Amino acid sequence: MTKNTSKAKLPVQQLAILAVARFAEPLAYTSVWPYLPEMIRGFGVKRDQVAKWAGVTSSVFSVCQSITAVPWGRASDRFGRKPVLILGLLSTMICFIVWGMSTSLAMAITVRAIMGGGNGNVGIIRTMVAEMVTEKELQPRAFSIMPLVWSLGSVVGPAFGGFFAQPAKQFPNVFGNIELFKKFPYLLPNLLATIFFLISAASATFFLRETLADKKEHKDWGLLVGERLTRLFRRKPQLISQRRRSFVDGEATAPLVPSIVAPKKAATPKKESTGMAEVFSYQTTINLISYTFLAFHSVAYDQNITVFLDYPVIPRTPENTKFPFYFTGGFGLSSGNIGTLFTIYGVTCGLIQFLIYPPLVNRYGVLNCFKVV
């Protein structure tokens, strides 16, 4: 047992593909923060109503995502993890482009809702990691990759949104004469992110393996094409006369009726569906409640801080200031400066996640660290 355990290794390539797909979530969610208040004001919303509608626009993403999480999970149980994962990436990519072309508040909220509801990859990716890495001693390392990816996405997302929003205004020498970016000032960061979504969807299509037990043995044409592409780009290509047989050759020369009937595999007994009462046990419920409050605080802070940073500076007077809970005005920062601050924030979170958190967990345990947070 010890010998086999020591030889167990993480499926690095497959986890890397999942990490790239997971990266899409924070990219889509956080890239709008630096310019969202400006965008909402551009729709004709009064300044004192910007915070409310910014909260609504951001919250519909998470609300719709949570509502559709279970249906997406059931779809992945039926059709496989991989196709549902790819569908979620493509859905987010399309919505991302349409979001950048929003011309009204109603359109922006609707697109944001569809973007959240059309992607259930958060739970699916976690399930794939669990199915991909079955060794208990390797699972902590495998699962720790995804939070690190979230932190990285929290760095890149605001950077995209802040640096490339309103390009005709920020970079007039480069984009000043392009009418598309004058008409849609928040389209460029979404177009740049689309390149990443295409890479993510392509890598998942051609190189990601299905992890659902019922679908593992099914032919995956995406993988077959990926293997063919891999052979084409090898450093030492084989001679045509000595090339390996491709899947096309196999399909063309395979007999219609096999000469020897292969023994049938024993049918795998179907697992009984788990009832909701078993899922929502006492420990699970406590964990969900705790995480809900933690996420509520974190997201509320991230959303409100953007409005606070964007709000113009107002001179302080005794009438408009009663510390610590009543004050007016903000910092009056541009979307580019807000993006820079969020980038620094994301880098700091990533360093803590990667360098400080693991030693603390090893010494004090996960539960104690969670209590402190």
Amino acid 309: pLDDT: 87
Q: Is pLDDT larger for residue 122 or for residue 358?
A: 122
Burial (CB < 10 A; 0-12, 13-18, 19+), residue 293, is exposed
247 has pLDDT over 80: no
Residue pair 36/305 in contact by the 8 Å Cβ criterion:
no
Question: Is the overall model pTM greater than 0.95, yes or no?
Answer: no
259 has pLDDT over 50: no
- What residue type is 277 in one-letter code? A
Domain count, the chain: 1
Amino acid 10: pLDDT: 86
Query: pLDDT tier at 325 (50, 70, 90 boundaries)?
Result: low
Q: What are phi and psi of 156, to 5 degrees?
A: -70, -40
Q: Is 333 a member of any domain?
A: yes
- What residue type is 242 in one-letter code? Q
303 has pLDDT over 80: no
Question: What is the CB neighbour count within 10 angstroms for residue 369?
Answer: 13
Amino acid 89: pLDDT: 94
Amino acid 149: pLDDT: 86
49 has pLDDT over 80: yes
Give tens-digit pLDDT for 277-295.
777 788 888 888 988 888 8
Question: Three-state SS for 315?
Answer: coil
Tokens of 31: 């890239």
- What residue type is 181 in one-letter code? F
Q: What is the CATH number of the domain that holds 165?
A: 1.20.1250.20
Nearest Cα neighbor of 213 from 178, 252, 265 is 265
CA dist 97 to 75, 171, 346, 354, Å?
25, 21, 24, 32
Instruction: Round to whole Å and give the CA distance between 75 and 281.
Output: 24
Q: Is 28 a member of any domain?
A: yes
**Partners of 326 in beta bridges:** 322
Question: Could you tell me the sign of the dihedral formed by the alpha carbons of 366, 368, 371, 373, in that order?
Answer: negative
Burial (CB < 10 A; 0-12, 13-18, 19+), residue 162, is buried
Query: pLDDT tier at 240 (50, 70, 90 boundaries)?
Result: very low
Amino acid 210: pLDDT: 93
207 has pLDDT over 80: yes
Q: Is 44 a member of any domain?
A: yes
Question: Mean per-residue pLDDT for 214-241?
Answer: 76
Amino acid 97: pLDDT: 94
Q: Is 61 a member of any domain?
A: yes
Query: pLDDT tier at 246 (50, 70, 90 boundaries)?
Result: very low
Amino acid 167: pLDDT: 92
Angle of helix 50-79 versus helix 121-132 axis, rounded to 10: 40
Give tens-digit pLDDT for 69-109.
999 999 999 999 999 999 999 999 999 999 999 999 999 99
Question: Mean per-residue pLDDT for 248-261?
Answer: 39
The residue segments making up the domain with residue 153 are 10-218+288-313+325-372
Question: Three-state SS for 59?
Answer: helix
Read off the DSSP letter of residue 176: T
Question: Three-state SS for 80?
Answer: coil
Nearest Cα neighbor of 310 from 288, 341, 333, 340 is 333
Q: Is 94 a member of any domain?
A: yes
Give tens-digit pLDDT for 137-192.
888 788 888 888 887 887 788 888 888 999 998 899 999 899 999 999 999 999 98
Amino acid 370: pLDDT: 81
- Report angle CA 126, 211, 194 to the nearest 5 degrees: 60
Instruction: Round to whole Å and give the CA distance between 37 and 308.
Output: 10
Question: Mean per-residue pLDDT for 58-70?
Answer: 90
The percent of residues above 70 in pLDDT, for the chain, comes to: 86
Amino acid 239: pLDDT: 43
